[in-house]
Chains A and B, each alone.
Chain A
Amino acid sequence: MNYIGEHLLPGKLGHFFLLLSLISSLGATICYFLSVQRSSFMVRGGNTQATYDANPYWKKLGRIFFITQAVSVFAVFSILFFIIYNHYFEYKYVWQHSSLSLETKYLLSCFWEGQEGSFLLWSIWHCVVGLFFIGREKKWEGPVMTVVSFAQLLLATMILGIPFFGGHLGSNPFMLLRNSEVLNNAPVFFDMAGNMRQDYLSLIKDGNDLNPLLQNYWMVIHPPVLFLGFASAIIPFAFAVGGLWTKRFTDWTKPALPWALFSAALLGLGIMMGAAWAYESLNFGGYWAWDPVENASLVPWLLLVAGLHTLVIFRHTGNALRATSLFFILGFLLVLYSTYLTRSGDLQDTSVHAFTGEGITPTHLRIFLFLFVIPSLVLFFIRYKHVPHIVKEEEASSREFWMFIGSLVLFLSALMIIGMTSVPVFNKIIALFNGEEKTFKTFAVGEDAAFAYNRIQIFVAIIIGFISGTGMYLKYKATGKGYMKKILIPVFIALAAGGLILAFGNINYTEHGYGYLGAIWLAIFAAVFSLVANGSYIFSGMKGQLKRSGGSIAHVGFAMMLLGILLSSSKKEIISLNTTGIFLDFGEGSKENPGENLTLVKGVRTKMGAYYVTYEKDSVHPQKQLWYYHLQFEKADGSERFLLTPNAFVNYKGQQGLMANPDSKHFLSHDIFTYITSLPDPEKNRDTASFRSEKLSVGDTIFYSKGFAVLENLNSMKEISVPGVSFGPEDSATVAYFKIYSKTSSIYTVQPTLLNIKNEIYAKADTIMQENLVLQLQGVNGSELTLGIKESDDVMQYVTLKAYKFPFINLLWLGTIIMVIGILISMAWRIQTNKLKKVSISNQKRSGQKAGREEQAVKL
Chain B
Amino acid sequence: MKKMHIALLLLVIGGIVGMSFFIKDLTTQETFATAAERDGKFVVVKVKFDKETPVAYDGLNNPNYTVFYAVDQDGKRSKVVYNNSKPQDIERSEGLDLNGYMRDGYFECTKLQMKCPSKYKDDLNAAQKNLPTGDSSNTYKY
Question: Which chain A residues have a beta carbon within 8 Å of chain B's beta carbons?
Answer: 96, 114-115, 182-183, 185-189, 203-205, 208, 211-213, 283, 348-350, 352-358, 393-394, 396, 401, 404-405, 408-409, 412, 415-416, 419-420, 423, 441-447, 452, 455-456, 459, 578, 583-591, 594-599, 601, 653-660, 677-680, 684, 722, 724-725, 755, 757, 762-765, 796, 798-800, 802
Q: Within the complex, what minimum Cβ distance (angstroms) separates A388 from chain B?
A: 17
Residues of A within 8 A of B106 (CB): 589
Would you give the shortest CB distance from B79 to chain A, in whole angstroms? 9
- Chain B residues whose C-beta falls within 8 Å of the C-beta of A96 in the assembled complex: 120, 123-124, 127
| Given known A-B contacts A412-B15, A657-B89, A188 and B132 have beta carbons under 8 A apart | yes
Contact of B77 with A by CB under 8 A: no
B120 engages A355 (CB within 8 Å): yes
Alpha-carbon gap, A349 to B64, bound state (A): 25
Whole-angstrom CA separation of A419 from B3 in the bound complex: 27
| Residue contacts A-B, CB under 8 angstroms, 29 given | A182-B128, A348-B115, A349-B115, A358-B121, A412-B11, A412-B14, A419-B19, A443-B26, A446-B27, A447-B42, A456-B21, A578-B63, A586-B65, A589-B103, A590-B62, A590-B65, A595-B62, A595-B63, A596-B64, A597-B63, A597-B85, A598-B63, A653-B127, A654-B129, A677-B88, A724-B140, A762-B140, A764-B142, A799-B59
Q: Kindly state the separation between the CA atoms of A423 and B97 in the bound complex, as whole angstroms.
A: 15
CA A414 to CA B32, docked complex, whole Å: 35
A183 vs B129: C-alpha distance in the bound complex, in angstroms? 10
Given known contacts A188-B134, A211-B118, A349-B97, A659 and B124 CB-to-CB distance under 8 angstroms: no
Q: A394-B3, A456-B22, A659-B88 are in contact. List 8 more A-B contacts (CB 8 A).
A: A204-B132, A355-B120, A412-B15, A583-B63, A591-B83, A658-B89, A800-B59, A802-B85
A603 to B91, CA, bound (A): 30
Whole-angstrom distance between the alpha carbons of A459 and B127 in the complex? 47
Residues of A within 8 A of B140 (CB): 722, 724-725, 757, 762
Q: B130 at the A/B interface (Cβ < 8 Å)?
A: yes
User: Which listed residue (B15, B29, B97) contacts A441, Cβ 8 A?
Assistant: B29
Partner of A204, one of B46, B63, B99, B131: B131
Which B residue sits closest to A395, measured CB to CB?
A: B3
- With a cutoff of 8 Å between Cβ atoms, the chain A residues found around residue B53 in the complex are none
- B49-68 interface bits toward A, Cβ cutoff 8 Å, 1 = contact, 0 = none: 00000100101111111010
Is B33 interfacial (CB 8 A cutoff)?
no
A96-B124, A408-B11, A441-B29 known; A659 vs B89 contact (CB < 8 Å): yes
Name B101's closest neighbour in chain A (CB-CB): A447
Q: What is the chain B residue whose CB lies nearest that of A799?
A: B59
Query: Chain A residues near B57 (CB, 8 Å)?
Result: 678
CA distance A725 to B14 in the complex (A): 73
| Interface, chain B (partner A; CB < 8 A) | 2-4, 7-8, 11-12, 14-15, 18-19, 21-22, 25-29, 42, 44, 46, 54, 57, 59-65, 67, 81, 83-86, 88-92, 95, 97, 99, 103, 106, 108, 110-111, 113-116, 118-124, 126-134, 140-142
- The residue on A at minimum CB distance from B116 is A352
Residues of chain A within 8 A of B64, CB atoms compared: 578, 590, 594-597
Q: Compute how far the CA of A204 lies from the CA of B127 in the bound complex, rounded to whole angstroms.
A: 12
Nearest A-chain residue to B26, judged by Cβ: A443
Contact status of A459 and B99, CB under 8 A, knowing A348-B119, A589-B108, A724-B140: no
Shortest beta-carbon distance from A339 to chain B in Å = 16
Kindly list chain B residues whose C-beta atoms are within 8 Å of the C-beta of A114: 120
Which residue, of B4, B121, B142, has the highest number of chain A Cβ atoms within 10 A?
A: B142
Chain B neighbourhood of A187, CB < 8 A: 133-134
B121's partner among A356, A656, A660, A802 (CB-CB below 8 A) is A356
List the B side residues contacting A349 at CB < 8 Å.
46, 95, 97, 113, 115
B contacts with A: majority SS: mixed
Point out the residues of chain A lying under 8 angstroms from B133, CB to CB.
186-188
Residue from A96, A204, A396, A677 whose CB has the most chain B CB atoms within 10 Å: A677
A205–B132 touching, CB < 8 Å: yes
Kindly list chain A residues whose C-beta atoms are within 8 Å of the C-beta of B90. 657
Q: Which residue of A lies closest to B97 (CB)?
A: A349
Q: Which residue of B lies closest to A412 (CB)?
A: B15
* CB pair A447 B25 closer than 8 Å: yes
CB neighbours of B134 from chain A (8 A): 187-188
Which of A459, A586, A657 is within 8 Å of B88, CB to CB? A657
- Residue from the set B22, B57, B106, B122 with the largest chain A CB neighbour count within 10 Å: B22
Q: How far is the CA of A115 from the CA of B120 in the complex (A)?
A: 9
List of B residues within 8 angstroms of A446 by Cβ: 22, 25-27, 42
Q: Name the residue on A nearest B126 (C-beta).
A: A655
CB pair B142–A762 under 8 Å, yes or no, is: yes
A445–B99 Cα distance when bound, in Å, is 10
The answer to whether A587 and B141 touch (CB under 8 A), given A115-B120, A447-B99, A653-B130, is no
Contact (A409, B4) CB under 8 Å given A349-B95, A446-B26, A455-B21 = no
Bound form: Cα–Cα A353–B67 in Å: 25
Q: Is the CB of A208 within 8 A of B123?
A: yes
User: A584 CA to B27 CA in the complex, in Å?
Assistant: 33
Residues of B with C-beta under 8 A to A798: 59-60
Write the chain A residue with the least CB distance to B62.
Answer: A585
What 9 A-B pairs are tightest by C-beta distance, nearest first? A595-B64, A446-B25, A677-B85, A657-B89, A800-B59, A597-B63, A444-B44, A456-B18, A208-B127
Q: Which residue of A lies closest to B21 (CB)?
A: A455
Residues of B within 8 A of A354 (CB): 119
Nearest to A187 among chain B residues (CB) is B134
Contact indicator B15/A416 (Cβ below 8 Å): yes
User: B59–A680 contact, CB under 8 A?
Assistant: yes
B46 to chain A, nearest CB (A): 7
Point out which of B4, B120, B123, B140 has the most chain A C-beta atoms below 10 A from its C-beta.
B120
- Residues of B with C-beta under 8 A to A588: 81
**A456 neighbours in B (Cβ, 8 Å):** 18-19, 21-22
- The answer to whether A800 touches B130, judged by C-beta atoms less than 8 angstroms apart, is no
**Assembly CA distance A276 to B99 (angstroms):** 27
Q: How far is the CA of A168 from the CA of B103 in the complex (A)?
A: 48
- Return chain B residues, CB-CB under 8 Å to A115: 120
